[in-house]
């Protein structure tokens, strides 16, 4: 894929992921750079420039501006002989500029539940909610090969504020659905059991698959990832 084509793909991605930004950060190149950092975790100015078809000098100016706004930060990384290059990543504030579906009401409700109900009852309520949500997902994605169903789920998750993508498992075991921005991150930080609910949600949505978590934002990963694969006897349906 050429540089201009890569830029078009990234801008198209941004059109599917509404960004909540101040007027000073509306330039397409800056939005695309933020989205690439969200998706890749860490990236150099040269790599960003290559992807977005701009000069390295221009990209460095963008990055310094974003750094001044507190949206990105850099750490030096040695990649062979010569001066170490900076690898750039989003700060907490940078992640906060992407849509977040959690709010004070949901946190307040969970706090009230945790204070007034036994832990087992809270867990049961969350599991029930996951099962009901999974039923909604199954109705929406319908039947078909695993890949087609996963692609439809990714679109649903994006519409809910997740920055999600699907790719083949690099180890050759089915598919990996990655979510680089979690719409319930604020809630999950205070109630990690929400993450268990999300895992159960995916398992209930694909009861014919083996599902495991392979990445986790709360453990320092740059995304939450779920590996899904059909049992070997059904693998041909992928």
Q: Is the pLDDT of residue 122 over 90?
A: no
Per-residue pLDDT reduced to its tens digit, 65-92? 999 988 999 988 766 566 667 899 988 7
Give residues with Cβ within 8 angstroms of 36, minimum separation 6.
Answer: 10, 43, 48, 51, 52
pLDDT mean across residues, the chain: 79
226 and 129 in a single domain? The answer is: yes
Domain count, the chain: 2
Where is the domain boundary, 68, 96, 124? 96
Q: CA dihedral in degrees (41, 183, 162, 134; nearest 10)?
A: 130
pLDDT for res 82: 60
Kindly state whether residues 123 and 183 are assigned to the same domain.
yes
Q: What is the pLDDT of residue 14?
A: 41
Question: Average pLDDT for residues 161-190, to the nearest whole number?
Answer: 84
Residue 3's pLDDT is 42
Q: Which of 76, 96, 116 is the last residue of a domain?
A: 96
Residue 207 and residue 122 in one domain? yes
Please tell me the distance from the alpha carbon of residue 10 to that of residue 26, in angstroms, as a whole number: 15
Does residue 32 sit in the same domain as residue 92?
A: yes
Average pLDDT over residues 8-31: 47
pLDDT of residue 216: 78
Residue 184 belongs to domain with CATH number: 3.90.1520.10
pTM for the predicted model, two decimal places: 0.58
Domain boundary residue, one of 96, 117, 152: 96
66/182 same-domain check: no
Q: Containing domain of residue 91, as a range?
A: 3-96
* Residue 85 belongs to domain with CATH number: 1.10.10.10
- For residue 155, pLDDT over 50 is answered with yes
Rounded Cα–Cα distance for residues 43 and 23 (Å): 25
Radius of gyration of the chain (CA): 20
Same domain, 48 and 68: yes
pLDDT of residue 6: 43
């Amino acid at each position: 894929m050429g540089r201009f084509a890569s830029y078009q793909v990234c801008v198209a991605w941004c059109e599917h992921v509404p960004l909540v930004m101040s007027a000073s950060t509306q330039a397409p190149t800056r939005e695309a750079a933020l989205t690439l950092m969200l998706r890749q975790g860490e990236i150099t100015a040269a790599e960003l420039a290559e992807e977005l078809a701009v000069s390295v000098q221009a990209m460095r100016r963008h990055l310094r501006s974003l750094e001044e706004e507190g949206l990105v930060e850099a750490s030096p990384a040695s990649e062979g002989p010569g001066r170490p290059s900076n690898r750039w990543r989003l700060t907490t504030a940078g992640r906060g500029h992407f849509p977040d579906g959690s709010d004070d009401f949901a946190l307040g409700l969970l706090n009230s539940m945790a204070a007034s109900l036994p832990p087992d009852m809270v867990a049961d309520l969350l599991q029930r909610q996951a099962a009901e949500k999974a039923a909604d997902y199954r109705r929406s994605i319908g039947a078909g090969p695993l890949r087609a169903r996963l692609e439809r789920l990714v679109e649903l998750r994006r519409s809910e504020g997740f920055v999600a993508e699907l790719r083949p498992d690099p180890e050759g075991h089915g598919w990996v659905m990655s979510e680089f921005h979690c719409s319930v991150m604020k809630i999950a930080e205070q109630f990690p059991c929400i993450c268990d609910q999300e895992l159960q949600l995916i398992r209930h949505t694909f009861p014919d698959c083996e599902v495991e978590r392979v990445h986790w934002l709360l453990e320092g990963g740059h995304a939450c990832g779920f590996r899904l694969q059909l049992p070997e006897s059904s693998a041909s349906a992928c």
